[in-house]
Protein backbone atom coordinates (compact mmCIF):
# COMPACT_ATOMS: atom_id res chain seq x y z
CA UNK A 1 0.00 0.00 0.00
CA UNK A 2 1.21 3.50 -0.82
CA UNK A 3 1.85 5.60 2.28
CA UNK A 4 3.35 8.68 0.63
CA UNK A 5 2.41 9.76 -2.85
CA UNK A 6 4.21 12.72 -4.38
CA UNK A 7 2.61 13.62 -7.68
CA UNK A 8 4.28 15.89 -10.21
CA UNK A 9 5.51 18.59 -7.84
CA UNK A 10 7.37 21.72 -8.91
CA UNK A 11 9.43 23.44 -6.23
CA UNK A 12 11.01 26.88 -6.41
CA UNK A 13 13.62 28.88 -4.49
CA UNK A 14 12.54 32.34 -5.55
CA UNK A 15 12.43 32.05 -9.33
CA UNK A 16 14.80 29.07 -9.47
CA UNK A 17 12.81 26.06 -10.57
CA UNK A 18 14.67 23.42 -8.53
CA UNK A 19 12.23 20.51 -8.28
CA UNK A 20 10.78 19.70 -11.68
CA UNK A 21 7.66 17.62 -12.20
CA UNK A 22 8.84 15.17 -9.57
CA UNK A 23 6.76 12.13 -8.69
CA UNK A 24 7.59 9.41 -6.23
CA UNK A 25 5.79 7.01 -3.99
CA UNK A 26 6.78 5.30 -0.79
CA UNK A 27 5.12 2.03 0.16
CA UNK A 28 4.09 1.24 3.68
CA UNK A 29 6.81 -0.65 5.57
CA UNK A 30 9.50 -0.22 2.91
CA UNK A 31 12.84 1.55 2.88
CA UNK A 32 12.96 3.90 -0.09
CA UNK A 33 16.23 5.62 -1.01
CA UNK A 34 16.53 8.94 -2.78
CA UNK A 35 19.94 9.13 -4.41
CA UNK A 36 21.85 11.52 -6.63
CA UNK A 37 24.87 13.78 -6.74
CA UNK A 38 25.40 16.96 -4.76
CA UNK A 39 22.74 19.49 -5.60
CA UNK A 40 20.46 16.98 -7.36
CA UNK A 41 17.52 18.11 -5.21
CA UNK A 42 17.29 15.39 -2.57
CA UNK A 43 17.15 17.64 0.50
CA UNK A 44 14.77 20.00 -1.28
CA UNK A 45 12.42 17.09 -1.98
CA UNK A 46 12.38 16.13 1.71
CA UNK A 47 11.70 19.75 2.61
CA UNK A 48 8.75 19.87 0.22
CA UNK A 49 7.28 16.75 1.84
CA UNK A 50 7.81 18.04 5.39
CA UNK A 51 6.14 21.35 4.53
CA UNK A 52 9.30 23.37 5.19
CA UNK A 53 9.75 26.43 3.00
CA UNK A 54 11.59 27.30 0.89
CA UNK A 55 11.20 25.70 -1.59
CA UNK A 56 7.65 26.69 -2.48
CA UNK A 57 5.60 23.94 -4.03
CA UNK A 58 3.73 25.72 -6.82
CA UNK A 59 2.12 22.74 -8.48
CA UNK A 60 1.52 19.05 -7.95
CA UNK A 61 0.11 17.24 -4.92
CA UNK A 62 1.56 15.42 -1.92
CA UNK A 63 -0.63 12.84 -0.21
CA UNK A 64 0.11 11.01 3.00
CA UNK A 65 -2.02 8.05 3.97
CA UNK A 66 -4.56 9.23 1.41
CA UNK A 67 -4.79 12.78 2.81
CA UNK A 68 -3.68 15.79 0.75
CA UNK A 69 -1.01 17.54 2.85
CA UNK A 70 0.42 19.77 0.10
CA UNK A 71 -0.67 23.03 1.68
CA UNK A 72 -0.46 22.07 5.35
CA UNK A 73 1.97 23.78 7.73
CA UNK A 74 4.99 21.73 8.93
CA UNK A 75 3.57 21.31 12.47
CA UNK A 76 0.44 19.61 11.17
CA UNK A 77 2.45 17.39 8.85
CA UNK A 78 4.63 16.36 11.81
CA UNK A 79 1.52 15.57 13.85
CA UNK A 80 0.33 13.29 11.08
CA UNK A 81 3.42 11.17 11.67
CA UNK A 82 6.08 12.41 9.25
CA UNK A 83 9.45 13.14 10.87
CA UNK A 84 12.50 14.60 9.21
CA UNK A 85 15.95 14.08 10.71
CA UNK A 86 17.92 16.82 8.96
CA UNK A 87 21.52 16.57 7.83
CA UNK A 88 22.74 18.75 10.71
CA UNK A 89 21.34 16.31 13.28
CA UNK A 90 20.39 19.14 15.63
CA UNK A 91 20.63 17.63 19.07
CA UNK A 92 20.72 19.89 22.14
CA UNK A 93 24.42 19.83 23.02
CA UNK A 94 24.08 21.06 26.60
CA UNK A 95 21.39 18.55 27.49
CA UNK A 96 22.02 14.91 28.33
CA UNK A 97 20.85 12.04 26.16
CA UNK A 98 17.90 11.41 28.50
CA UNK A 99 16.97 15.10 28.53
CA UNK A 100 17.07 15.23 24.73
CA UNK A 101 14.61 12.35 24.62
CA UNK A 102 12.47 13.92 27.33
CA UNK A 103 12.22 17.03 25.19
CA UNK A 104 10.74 14.87 22.46
CA UNK A 105 8.02 13.97 25.02
CA UNK A 106 7.14 17.63 25.29
CA UNK A 107 6.93 17.91 21.51
CA UNK A 108 4.78 14.80 21.42
CA UNK A 109 2.37 16.17 24.01
CA UNK A 110 2.12 19.41 22.10
CA UNK A 111 1.51 17.41 18.94
CA UNK A 112 -1.34 15.61 20.68
CA UNK A 113 -2.97 18.92 21.53
CA UNK A 114 -2.37 20.30 18.06
CA UNK A 115 -3.60 17.05 16.61
CA UNK A 116 -7.13 17.43 17.94
CA UNK A 117 -8.68 17.79 14.51
CA UNK A 118 -6.19 15.72 12.60
CA UNK A 119 -6.01 12.03 12.06
CA UNK A 120 -2.80 11.78 14.06
CA UNK A 121 -1.00 8.79 15.50
CA UNK A 122 -0.99 8.54 19.25
CA UNK A 123 2.24 7.35 20.73
CA UNK A 124 5.80 7.17 19.56
CA UNK A 125 8.27 4.54 20.60
CA UNK A 126 8.77 4.17 24.35
CA UNK A 127 12.03 5.25 25.98
CA UNK A 128 12.80 1.68 27.01
CA UNK A 129 12.35 0.43 23.44
CA UNK A 130 14.59 3.22 22.22
CA UNK A 131 17.36 2.26 24.60
CA UNK A 132 17.00 -1.31 23.43
CA UNK A 133 17.44 -0.24 19.78
CA UNK A 134 20.34 2.00 20.63
CA UNK A 135 22.41 0.40 23.42
CA UNK A 136 25.06 3.10 22.96
CA UNK A 137 22.52 5.72 24.02
CA UNK A 138 21.51 3.61 26.99
CA UNK A 139 25.13 3.58 28.15
CA UNK A 140 25.32 7.34 27.74
CA UNK A 141 21.98 8.45 29.21
CA UNK A 142 23.57 10.98 31.54
CA UNK A 143 26.18 12.26 29.09
CA UNK A 144 25.75 15.65 27.42
CA UNK A 145 24.77 15.25 23.78
CA UNK A 146 27.52 17.65 22.66
CA UNK A 147 30.16 15.20 23.91
CA UNK A 148 28.81 12.25 21.88
CA UNK A 149 30.53 11.05 18.72
CA UNK A 150 29.00 11.88 15.32
CA UNK A 151 27.47 8.41 15.07
CA UNK A 152 25.96 8.62 18.54
CA UNK A 153 24.50 12.04 17.79
CA UNK A 154 22.96 10.61 14.63
CA UNK A 155 21.43 7.80 16.69
CA UNK A 156 20.08 10.32 19.20
CA UNK A 157 18.53 12.42 16.42
CA UNK A 158 16.84 9.31 15.00
CA UNK A 159 15.77 8.20 18.49
CA UNK A 160 14.12 11.57 19.13
CA UNK A 161 12.17 11.33 15.88
CA UNK A 162 10.97 7.85 16.82
CA UNK A 163 9.97 8.95 20.30
CA UNK A 164 7.52 11.35 18.69
CA UNK A 165 4.83 9.63 16.68
CA UNK A 166 6.37 8.59 13.42
CA UNK A 167 4.88 6.58 10.58
CA UNK A 168 7.30 7.91 7.99
CA UNK A 169 10.85 8.59 9.06
CA UNK A 170 12.81 10.75 6.61
CA UNK A 171 16.57 10.62 7.11
CA UNK A 172 18.79 13.15 5.35
CA UNK A 173 22.27 11.70 4.89
CA UNK A 174 22.44 9.71 8.11
CA UNK A 175 25.86 8.27 7.19
CA UNK A 176 27.54 11.57 6.46
CA UNK A 177 30.92 11.93 8.12
CA UNK A 178 30.70 8.58 9.89
CA UNK A 179 33.40 5.90 9.95
CA UNK A 180 32.50 2.62 8.19
CA UNK A 181 32.07 0.76 11.47
CA UNK A 182 29.64 3.38 12.77
CA UNK A 183 27.78 3.43 9.45
CA UNK A 184 27.16 -0.25 10.04
CA UNK A 185 25.71 0.41 13.51
CA UNK A 186 23.38 3.12 12.15
CA UNK A 187 22.49 0.83 9.23
CA UNK A 188 21.51 -1.96 11.63
CA UNK A 189 19.40 0.43 13.67
CA UNK A 190 17.60 1.61 10.50
CA UNK A 191 16.93 -2.00 9.50
CA UNK A 192 15.47 -2.86 12.89
CA UNK A 193 13.32 0.27 12.94
CA UNK A 194 12.02 -0.69 9.51
CA UNK A 195 11.35 -4.26 10.58
CA UNK A 196 9.35 -2.93 13.52
CA UNK A 197 7.01 -1.23 11.04
CA UNK A 198 8.22 2.34 10.49
CA UNK A 199 8.39 3.34 6.83
CA UNK A 200 11.65 5.02 5.84
CA UNK A 201 12.63 7.53 3.18
CA UNK A 202 16.39 7.77 3.12
CA UNK A 203 18.46 10.42 1.34
CA UNK A 204 22.10 9.45 0.84
CA UNK A 205 25.24 10.48 -1.04
CA UNK A 206 26.65 7.09 -0.11
CA UNK A 207 24.68 5.22 -2.76
CA UNK A 208 26.44 1.90 -2.21
CA UNK A 209 25.49 1.82 1.48
CA UNK A 210 21.95 3.02 0.78
CA UNK A 211 21.30 0.42 -1.94
CA UNK A 212 22.25 -2.27 0.55
CA UNK A 213 19.31 -1.56 2.84
CA UNK A 214 16.77 -0.04 0.43
CA UNK A 215 13.85 -1.90 -1.12
CA UNK A 216 13.29 0.75 -3.77
CA UNK A 217 15.43 3.55 -5.16
CA UNK A 218 14.90 6.83 -6.93
CA UNK A 219 17.79 8.64 -8.57
CA UNK A 220 17.50 12.39 -9.01
CA UNK A 221 19.36 14.66 -11.37
CA UNK A 222 18.74 18.40 -11.58
CA UNK A 223 15.49 18.08 -9.67
CA UNK A 224 14.08 15.31 -11.85
CA UNK A 225 13.67 11.57 -11.39
CA UNK A 226 16.00 9.76 -13.81
CA UNK A 227 15.63 6.25 -12.39
CA UNK A 228 13.10 4.45 -10.26
CA UNK A 229 12.95 0.79 -9.43
CA UNK A 230 13.89 -1.95 -7.00
CA UNK A 231 17.32 -1.59 -5.37
CA UNK A 232 18.57 -4.76 -7.10
CA UNK A 233 17.74 -3.23 -10.47
CA UNK A 234 19.79 -0.13 -9.72
CA UNK A 235 22.58 -2.27 -8.36
CA UNK A 236 22.74 -4.07 -11.72
CA UNK A 237 22.37 -0.90 -13.82
CA UNK A 238 25.98 0.19 -14.21
CA UNK A 239 25.15 2.86 -16.78
CA UNK A 240 22.83 4.76 -14.43
CA UNK A 241 25.25 4.30 -11.55
CA UNK A 242 28.15 5.70 -13.59
CA UNK A 243 26.20 8.56 -15.05
CA UNK A 244 24.30 9.83 -12.00
CA UNK A 245 25.93 8.37 -8.94
CA UNK A 246 29.59 7.96 -9.87
CA UNK A 247 29.75 4.49 -8.28
N1 LIG B 1 17.86 27.98 0.20
C2 LIG B 1 18.18 27.84 -1.08
N3 LIG B 1 18.07 28.88 -1.94
C4 LIG B 1 18.37 28.76 -3.25
N5 LIG B 1 18.79 27.62 -3.83
C6 LIG B 1 18.94 26.54 -3.03
C7 LIG B 1 18.63 26.59 -1.62
N8 LIG B 1 18.86 25.37 -1.11
C9 LIG B 1 19.28 24.60 -2.12
N10 LIG B 1 19.32 25.30 -3.28
C11 LIG B 1 19.70 24.78 -4.61
O12 LIG B 1 18.79 23.76 -4.95
C13 LIG B 1 19.47 22.71 -5.64
C14 LIG B 1 19.17 21.39 -4.95
O15 LIG B 1 19.77 21.40 -3.66
P16 LIG B 1 19.54 20.26 -2.60
O17 LIG B 1 20.22 20.67 -1.33
O18 LIG B 1 18.14 19.88 -2.57
O19 LIG B 1 20.38 19.08 -3.26
P20 LIG B 1 20.86 17.73 -2.64
O21 LIG B 1 20.65 16.71 -3.69
O22 LIG B 1 20.23 17.50 -1.33
O23 LIG B 1 22.40 17.96 -2.47
P24 LIG B 1 23.31 17.96 -1.16
O25 LIG B 1 23.74 16.57 -1.02
O26 LIG B 1 24.40 18.89 -1.54
O27 LIG B 1 22.47 18.46 -0.02
C28 LIG B 1 20.93 23.09 -5.67
O29 LIG B 1 21.19 23.66 -6.92
C30 LIG B 1 21.07 24.11 -4.59
O31 LIG B 1 22.08 25.04 -4.89
53 contacts 6 by C-beta, under 8 angstroms: no
- The predicted-structure confidence for 173-210, as pLDDT tens digits, reads as follows 999 988 888 899 889 989 989 998 999 999 999 999 99
The per-residue pLDDT of the chain, averaged, comes to 91
For ligand 1, atom 7, name the residue with the nearest CA: 13
Helix (H, G, I), strand (E, B) or coil at 75: helix
* Positive or negative torsion for Cα 223, 228, 232, 235: negative
Neighbour-count burial for 116-127, b at 16+ CB within 10 Å, e otherwise: eebebbeebbeb
pLDDT for position 33: 98
Q: How far apart are CA 140 and CA 98, in angstroms?
A: 8
Interval 99-131: pLDDT, tens: 999 887 766 666 556 554 444 455 678 888 889
Q: How many Å apart are CA 76 and CA 50, to the nearest integer? A: 9
Residue 90, pLDDT score: 81
Mutate to test the pocket of ligand 1, among 11, 35, 39, 47 (most ligand atoms within 8 A of CB): 39
Q: Structure pTM?
A: 0.92
Q: What is the DSSP string of 100-159?
A: HHHHHHHHHHHHHHHGGGS--------HHHHHHH-HHHHHTTTSBGGGS-HHHHHHHHHH
Q: Which of 14-23, 186-195, 218-227 has the lowest mean pLDDT?
A: 186-195
The CA 222 to ligand 1 mean position distance, Å, reads 10
CATH architecture type of domain 2-237: 3-Layer(aba) Sandwich (3.40)
Domain range list for the chain:
2-237
- Find the 159 Cα to ligand 1 centroid distance in Å: 26
Ligand 1 pocket: which of 10, 12, 13 to mutate (most atoms within 8 A of CB): 13
Q: How much distance in Å is there from the Cα of 19 to the middle of ligand 1? A: 10
Which atom of ligand 1 has the smallest separation from the CA of 43?
A: 22
Amino acid sequence: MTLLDVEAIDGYYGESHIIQDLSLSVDDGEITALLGRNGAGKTSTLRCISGATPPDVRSGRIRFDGVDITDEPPEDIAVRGISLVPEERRVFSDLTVAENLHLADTVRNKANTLGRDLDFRDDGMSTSDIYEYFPRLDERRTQKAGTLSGGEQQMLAIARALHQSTDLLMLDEPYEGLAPQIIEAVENAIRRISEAGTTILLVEQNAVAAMKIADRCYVLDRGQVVFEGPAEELQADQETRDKYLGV
